[in-house]
Amino acid sequence: MKTKLELQKVKVLRQREIAPGVFVLSFPRPWDFIAGQVIGLSARETDDARLYSIASGELDDEVDILYNINPTGKLTPWMSRLNTADSLWVSKPFGSFTGKAGAAWWIASGTGIAPFRAMFRTGLTAGKKLLHGGRTLDTFYFEDEFLQTLNGSYVRCCSREEAENVYNGRLTKYLTECETLPPDELYYLCGSAEMVVEVRDILIARGIPFDNIISEIYF
Ligand SMILES: Cc1cc2nc3c(=O)[nH]c(=O)nc-3n(C[C@H](O)[C@H](O)[C@H](O)COP(=O)(O)OP(=O)(O)OC[C@H]3O[C@@H](n4cnc5c(N)ncnc54)[C@H](O)[C@@H]3O)c2cc1C
């Protein structure tokens, strides 16, 4: 999605390719934010910004952005060529897909894991269950961090490859097989429109009130 926002220049601290075509770009944190919020990002002040979830914690000194290259896209191929000390333009954080303390399910596909990593690093993990869906085993970004702290409350659902301790199948299949989906907990969904719509339908069919489902669609 592209959008017009007031932008400020920041300098890249580092850029890491954490899986083929998937990067974490970091810059010094210029503002406060609430875990789960997004920023606009662009190559020039006058360009339309694309939106990205902040993937680092509220108290981290650096802002991390997790993104995958869209080969025919305007911004991400350029972003992937940025090096330390190069400039980019970012907006202030905004958005209402924000984390809270208390029991909740964090459900992500692909780079939709980004806001949950922000909530995780902010310390909102008590009572949370994190489900991450991906096609291949290299798409479970930040899995080392999540495994260390969340143990059995972190479920990786892999549809095309198998591994020990990874659920074999789509996230939607895992959810339909879950014996209990508590109706009084919150369900945060983040990622592709396809995943969000499918999961929302499953949750509603299982009796989760619509108001307990909070969605962020990447488009
Ligand atoms: C709330 C929100 C949060 C998001 N957070 C993240 C995140 O954390 N990480 C992440 O990776 N992504 C995120 N996204 C998606 C991100 O904003 C970008 O859409 C994505 O990175 C692609 O950007 P791009 O400039 O490379 O591609 P774009 O230039 O936007 O192109 C996207 C696709 O549209 C096609 N296209 C572009 N212009 C036209 C046109 N005029 N006619 C026809 N087709 C066209 C391109 O060929 C391409 O396939 C988020 C989106 C939203 C809405």
Is this model's pTM higher than 0.85 or not?
A: yes
Atom 14 of ligand 1 has which residue's CA nearest to it?
Answer: 218
Locate the DSSP E strands across the chain. Answer: 2-3, 8-11, 14-19, 22-28, 38-42, 49-53, 62-68, 87-90, 104-109, 128-134, 154-158, 167-168, 186-191, 213-217
Strand partners, 108: 132, 190
Question: Ligand 1 test: best mutation among 75, 88, 94, 188, most atoms within 8 Å of CB?
Answer: 75
For residue 76, the CA-to-ligand 1 centroid distance in Å is 8
Alpha-carbon separation of residue 125 from 60, 79, 138, 153, 215 (angstroms): 16, 31, 23, 10, 19
Q: What is the pLDDT along the chain (219 residues), one digit of tens a residue?
A: 666 699 999 999 999 999 999 999 999 999 999 999 999 999 999 999 999 999 999 999 999 999 999 999 999 999 999 999 999 999 999 999 999 999 999 999 999 999 999 999 999 999 999 999 999 999 999 999 999 999 899 999 999 999 999 999 999 999 999 999 999 999 999 999 999 999 999 999 999 999 999 999 999
Q: Which residues of 94-106 are buried (b: 16+ CB within 10 A; e: fewer)?
A: ebebbbeeeebbb
Confidence (pLDDT) at 151: 85
Confidence (pLDDT) at 70: 97
Nearest to 213 by CA among 179, 184, 175, 177: 184
Confidence (pLDDT) at 2: 63
Map out the domains of the chain with their CATH numbers.
2-90 (2.40.30.10), 104-217 (3.40.50.80)
Is residue 63 a contact partner of residue 56, using CB atoms and an 8 Å limit?
yes
